[in-house]
Amino acid sequence: MIELMDGLPEGVAGVRFSGRVTAEEYRDALLPRLTELAEGEDRIRLLVLLDAGFERFEPGALWEDTKFGVHDGLRHASKFLRTALVSDADWAHHVIGLFGWMVPGDIKAFDLADLDAATAWVAGG
């Protein structure tokens, strides 16, 4: 499931992933928000939360993400200022360590217990 987060500081967009994320959810819930942010005036500050109940992205969801990255993300790469990934999953921290350089802007991984620090970091700068 994908949930757009409320109650974040001005200028920060947040998304919470839990359970299994399907291609339809990604396409219908997240892509419109990312497109809206990319076409806006401000640079993008994104908080991504993989909650304790997160299981996995369905293959189609990963494909939707890849399509956004290749088609729209590259066009809007300079719009991304900061992304905070919040998760207790070891694999998520490893992915950021290995492939974070491919993400536009700054990216940093945080543990779930450090959600407040992640929010402050992504809002700052």
Work out the average pLDDT over 84-99.
85
Give the CATH number of the domain where residue 24 resides: 3.40.50.10600
**pLDDT tens-digit map of 46-60:** 899 999 888 888 876
pLDDT at position 115 over 70? yes
- 106: nearest Cα among 96, 91, 117, 95: 96
Domain span holding position 31:
2-123
* pLDDT of residue 14 exceeding 90: yes
pLDDT 10s digits, 37-46 = 878 778 889 8
Q: Which tokens is 107 given?
A: 């990216």
**Measured CA distances, 25 to 21, 32, 56, 98 (Å):** 7, 11, 13, 27
Give the residue, 90 or 121, on which the prediction is more confident.
121
Tell me how many domains the chain contains.
Answer: 1
Q: Is the pLDDT of residue 119 over 90?
A: yes
Mean pLDDT of the chain: 82
Cα 7 to Cα 105: distance, rounded to the nearest angstrom: 23
